[in-house]
Structure 1
Amino acid sequence: MPGTRRPWPGWRCSPPRRSPACRPRWPTRPAPSSFSLSQVHSCWFSSIWFVGMIKKIFENISKEDIERLVAEERQEDRTLDYKQELPDFNDKKQKQKFLALVSSFANTIGGDIVYGILESQEDGRNSGKIEKIIGVADKNIDQTILQIKDLVNDLIEPRIVPQVLIKGVEGFESGPVLLIRVTRSATNPHAVWMDKKALFYVRSSNSTDLMDVDEIRMSFTMAKMLVDNIKDFRQERINKIINRDTPVQLIAGPKMVIHVLPYEAFALTSRNDYTESFSRNYSELMPYTCVNPEPRYNFDGFLIPCREKDSRDSTAYCQCFESGNLEVVLTDFVYTSNGSNLLRTDFEIPLIQSTKKCIKRIISLGINAPVVVFISLLGVNGYSIDLGPRFGNQLDIIEHNNLLLREIVVRDLKESVISILKTPIDTIWRACGFPRNMHYDEDGIKTNLNL
């Protein structure tokens, strides 16, 4: 059975003001790739990964996949919508209808919009069934894609995260099929702004409907729940590690804990089980410096523990949860010298490399952003970092036993992991009395570490 999956969200909302001068605005500049969980607001109703959508990672969808819709007799549904022609974006009604469809997918469980599909007719109306794939007669598909992106970014607020994906699939009679994929958004509910009015839409069955007041209120409530559930998961796991309730017995001493938690893992009705996927090519998730892995299935999913020869205790493990969550625990980042308890000066190397492995594996499984990353150091009271005489042998010790660093929400999984982890790594160095990570200068340029 899948593990606990709960929804999430949260910002407070007041009724939209009608005066354009007073109209509430969301930021129009691009948001950073990673940001605080408290800044993210979402409403997640169920699993998005391949629920009714074209069953393939977006970048890999080909002509054969589009044609398979006919062979499988795929009909329009809650996550799939067919259109014959592109809308005329100079026509206000067509533009609003298009934006309503996009925002409705973002407000519920996501979906694919396929342009260039001729539907069969029933009683003079489109049946939702494919009669023929013809493509769209567009001489400049790239310009159309840019126009769609601008409309979505300018007239749907707040901005959809992750961003809407658009591509042309060549090889059809009249031109390419235009495919638009909208994932359930981490910043919903989204409003379409037209004529100084904010309109909220929801996807139900194969139609797009306006949300009523109760549905809008529920969206914000669910957003807060999801935020809380992710934070609760992290805290529950930390409590287990502190109480030595771990899947393997670890050597005594401080622990470095990395949690990489996809939003999708907390969807209300997610049915995805990644256990088998994690078990394949498990070496890709072996903890940093691991030399004797002992992979096995366990209650939570798939476990990759590592221990030294002739030792009962493990030095590290990676717990792969069936829902897609990942937990890495490391112990080999501290040492004792001349009676002083010290963090290794290169402690960020296993931290960065382990996080990089987790995100790379998540990408390979087709799990969507956003992903929440938590870093924790446990049992480190009295530890410091010794950089030698050039810093006056400074040994300011960590004052807290457990450093539970604030979350990082990553909305672009291709972002540099060093960039993602800059803030938590700087925080650890500050806990040891330094202004920042001293392996980088004030501009964030690496000085002497080979990462």
Structure 2
Amino acid sequence: MSLQAVPFSKLSEAEIQRLLDYGVGESIHLDYKRQNYETSESDRKEFLKDISSMANTLGGDLVIGISEADGVPQSIIPLAGDRDKDVQRLEQLALHGLEPRIRNLQIKPIALTAGGYLILVRVPRSYVAPHRVILGNSARFYARAGTTTYEPNVDQLRQMFIATPLIAEKIKAFHADRLIRITANETPIAMNAAGKLVIHVVPLPAFTDGSMMDLIARLSVGTHVPVPPDEVGQLSRQSVNLDGYLNYTSTGSHSDARKAYAQFFRNGAIEGVADLRTDDGLSSRFVGVPFVRLVVDKVRQYLATADHYDMGLPAYVFLSFCNASNTVYRYPVPGGGFQETDPFGREIIALPEIYIDSFDVDVAKTMRPAFNVLWNAFGHHHCDVYDANGEIPAS
């Protein structure tokens, strides 16, 4: 049993009690503390040591208010005092006592039915590691092996520094491979050969240590599924395949209708693809405002899905076109009417990736640089959809 399988927002006294009932011992992912960290410098450094060691290794949960013997939990020792102030103090300590800070660190009190409270700290595996403790002129790095916290040597530190760039390269290779396959019509549903919009949301944890989850089992009890990037709201169907879960538009008897799908890969990556063809079936186009709204809406939905299933952060968002040779941009002109650019002339448009480190990000503003580059590709200086305040018009 592990707390890692439970979304942080759903953790309660019941889950903590089960740790005691089943005698779940400390591990690389789990640590117990009988008492809260006090305000002395040694106690504050101890807290920073504990959370940085987890962040620098595989992440984990720190439960404050549990007595243990040889790593096995014995009983709940309720904390007393102002729980909100305790949490705020630990949050501020983590914010100012580490370099760089640990993003997406989560801390919350858990009220106990018998009175008092526990404090639970969820430490994500960091992808900007290693973090060092800088409180009190300290400059020390820590890592975790089993239940032991240690100071890594030079070779181990070097591995920490290069780990994230290696993961990023894996993600970019995955993205490039998917674009080649989509362009070659190797898609989970048959699609037209004309231009296609492609959206990828890829959490970095999806590419660590051969990450794979029982996706189908989790989806069966979840409430979120990725939605195809279909701007006209066609009916969709769901199925499973070798790669994971597939949600795709149902065209019924209209075989010439536009098609779209969302593939949820078993490692947590999400791919959305939509047909952009025009009525002749060969050329394709996109129109500014509805296109930007569609992309922003789907990126939001895919990020919400990743958040719902605790896929982790940070994440990369990729916006691309495949089979784009005959794709044009249609834009309004002064006095009314529309004009179209020349066709793009190349098969793949791969825009610069967008780095996301919070699920609360303003997607519209964050995606704007990618839209600007797309508009540049069609001869325009910038994406003209945004208003003077950097907002997308509501209608």
TM-score of the two chains, using structure 1 as the length reference: 0.78
The answer for the alignment partner of 1:142 in structure 2 is 84
1:389 aligns to 2:369 (yes or no):
no
Return the alpha-carbon distance in structure 2 between the equivalents of residues 213 and 129 of structure 1: 32
Displacement of 1:147 = 1.8
Residues 86-101 of structure 1 aligned to structure 2 (within 5 Å): 86-90=36-40, 92-101=41-50
1:285 is matched with which residue?
227
Deviation at 1:397, TM superposition (A): 3.5
| Preserved contact between residue 135 and residue 172 of structure 1 (Cα < 8 Å) | no
The answer to which structure, 1 or 2, has the higher relative contact order (CA under 8 A, 6+ apart) is 1
Give the whole-Å Cα distance in 2 for the aligned partners of 1:56 and 1:160.
21
**2: distance between equivalents of 1:269 and 1:407?**
22
Among residues 45, 61, 84, which one is paired with 1:112 in the alignment? 61
Counterpart of 2:151 in structure 1 is 210
Runs (5+) with no aligned partner, structure 1: 1-50, 121-126
Shift of 1:192: 1.1
Shift of 1:274: 1.1
Q: In the alignment, which residue of structure 2 is the partner of 1:83?
A: 33
SS class of match (2:155): helix
Aligned to 2:374: 428
CA contact (8 A) 2:329 2:378 kept: yes
Encode CA deviations 1:175-220: one digit per residue, 9 max, x unaligned: 2111111110121111112454421111111121111111101112
In the alignment, which residue of structure 2 is the partner of 1:16?
none
State whether structure 2 residue 350 is matched by structure 1 residue 404: yes
In terms of mean alpha carbon deviation, does 98-107 or 394-403 score higher? Answer: 394-403
Matched, 1:295 2:241: no
Which blocks of at least 5 consecutive residues in structure 2 are unaligned? none
CA distance in 1: counterparts of 2:26 and 2:131, whole angstroms: 23
SS of the residue 1:252 aligns to = coil
C-alpha distance 400-175 of structure 1, shift in aligned 2 (>3 A): farther
Are the equivalent residues in 2 in contact too, given 1:290–1:316 (CA < 8 A)?
no
CA distance 1:407–1:76, change in 2 (3 Å): same
> Structure 2 vs 1, CA of residues 311 and 265 (structure 1 numbering), >3 Å: closer, same or farther?
same
Q: Residue 320 of structure 1 aligns to a residue in which SS?
A: strand
**Matched residue type, 1:135:** P
Partner of 1:103: 52
Aligned pairs for 1:30-179 within 5 A:
52-53=2-3, 55-90=5-40, 92-120=41-69, 127-137=70-80, 139-162=81-104, 164-171=105-112, 175-179=116-120
Separation in 2, partners of 1:438, 1:312: 31
Q: Aligned runs of 1:203-352 on 2, under 5 Å?
A: 203-278=144-219, 285-288=227-230, 289-308=232-251, 309-311=253-255, 315-332=259-276, 335=278, 342-345=285-288, 346-352=290-296
| Structure with a larger share of its residues in helix | 2
Distance verdict in 2 for CA 1:172–1:206, change over 3 Å: farther
Worse overlay, 143-152 or 435-444: 435-444
- Shift of the 307–115 alpha-carbon distance from structure 1 to 2, 3 Å rule, reads closer
Q: Which moved more, 1:350-359 or 1:67-76?
A: 350-359
Question: How many residues of Structure 1 are paired with residues of Structure 2 in the alignment?
Answer: 388
Partners of 1:262 and 1:371 within 8 A in 2: yes
| CA shift for structure 1 position 113 | 1.0
Deviations 1:124-165 (A, max 9, x none): xxx22222202212x222222222122212121112122x11
For residues 232 and 190 of structure 1, do their structure 2 counterparts lie closer, same or farther at Cα, with a shift above 3 Å needed?
same
Give SS of 2:23's match.
coil
Give the match's secondary structure for 2:259: strand
